[in-house]
Amino acid sequence: MKPKLKLNKNFVTLITAQAISSLGDWLSIVAIITLVGLKWEATPMQMSLIILSLAMPMAVFGPVSGAIADRLDRKKLMIISDVVRGILILLLTLASSVWMVYIILFATGIFSSVFVPAKNGKLKELVKDENIKGAMSLTSIIDSSTKVLGPLISGILVSSFGTYNVFYIDSATFFLSALLILLLPATAKEPLNNKQEGKQASSLRSDLQEGFTFIRQSSYLMYGLFLLGISLLILQLSDSQIIILLRELTNVSPDLFGYAVTSSGLGMLITGIVLSKKTDYNAYLYMCLGVLGIGAGFGGMAALTYLDLALSIVWVPALGLVVGIAAGLVFIPFQSAVQEKTPVHLTGRVFGVINSTTTTATIIGPLAGGTLATVIGIIPSFLITSSLLIFLFFISLIFRNKVEQEDEHVTESQPGTQGAASRQIN
């Protein structure tokens, strides 16, 4: 962690709460997928619905939740979200059918849709503009680290104490996260003039429109969001079906899925560490390369599964590592750029729009992926995913110069945006 960020005690508290909550998330997600996918032998469509149950609330309520996060105290919203999610996770211990899991995950997703924009807005409050890229890389490192540790710890706990004990631990992490967030300062409010009072009294509809309008002003944000959304849509065609693909192998270990998730998290961790030290990178180019890497990783996984290659315990995690590194190149640069370009008073609305767009992709993707795998088979569906991502890479390179040049023009014609944001938090 950079010295300036180390000295920011509120930022350290925020990312500590994030780390604890994220670790619990991965504990329960892996346990649920293992329970439903392996023990209950779920169909491809049922696996898609697991992802859908968590994703749909973010897509449907994302923009509204973002606007709410800009209107209300973000600290209180995060605490409420953590406490309610902790209670909901406890209810998973009572689940006896896949439909009960769907309902509980859907309710959890509703409160997650509030937490995410509130957390991003709070980070913008606590960190100065010149440290945003480093802060975003550190939050990505935390997410990736918990993705690595979560499946490993979950596997040990499930095998030692049973699946449902993992849910108790996950619930406790949400409550602990809420206690840490209590230590954060409330949102500082400045005296409002008449113009600002009128704006604050505006309708929720106009708040939502303002988030869309801000994104449309930047060619980079518009095409970057398009690239991210389409990449996620194509990725989710196969990502939700990995455990189905692994069942095609002759000798598949029950722990192989956990290893794949762990290695992909390690890949994102590596990317986050590298980008936290190198903050002057070309974000758009990195996103393009990330799309290519994800496509290559999935294509290789499908090909080796078709060949039923031995030592899957080696090559599956290796390809997961490649996909994780590539995914980090797509997600981290874009989120850092959004934080840099967005004023603090708009972060909830902008991230609400972004989360809604990307989560819509994660809804359509698993459903289409489940259907595609059922109709043409799991291996062909992975090959289609790989081909589409590689094609998207070449299309993105064609538009690279146009997007970057137009974005530079917009930035030069709108000076002071970040300065205005800084004044609001000082």
In this prediction, residue 203 carries a pLDDT of: 54
In this prediction, residue 408 carries a pLDDT of: 55
Q: How far are the Cα atoms of 5, 25, 201, 304, 306 from residue 131, in angstroms, in the given order? A: 7, 27, 32, 43, 46
Q: How far are the Cα atoms of 32, 297, 365 from residue 143, in angstroms, in the given order? A: 19, 21, 22
Is CATH 1.10.10.10 what the domain over 3-185+208-425 is classified as, yes or no?
A: no
- Residue matched to tokens 């967005």: 342
The enclosing H or E element of 234 equals: helix 219-239
In this prediction, residue 37 carries a pLDDT of: 67
pTM: 0.62
3-state helix, strand, coil in the chain (%, to 5): 85, 0, 15
Classify residue 191 by its DSSP letter.
P
In this prediction, residue 4 carries a pLDDT of: 67
Whether the Cβ atoms of residue 115 and residue 82 lie closer than 8 Å to each other: yes
Amino acid at 380: P
Dihedral of alpha carbons 273, 276, 280, 282, sign: positive
* Domain locations along the chain: 3-185+208-425
* CB atoms inside a 10 Å sphere around CB 144: 25
Whether the Cβ atoms of residue 323 and residue 253 lie closer than 8 Å to each other: no
- Residue matched to tokens 């109709």: 375
- Residue matched to tokens 């840099």: 340
Q: Could you give the CA distance from residue 118 to residue 147 in angstroms, rounded to a whole number? A: 22
Q: Consecutive 10-residue runs of the chain (426 residues): their mean pLDDT? A: 69 85 73 69 71 73 73 86 90 81 86 81 77 72 68 68 77 90 73 45 58 75 81 74 80 74 80 77 84 90 88 87 88 78 72 72 74 84 88 86 62 41 34
In this prediction, residue 1 carries a pLDDT of: 54
Structure tokens at 414: 């709108």
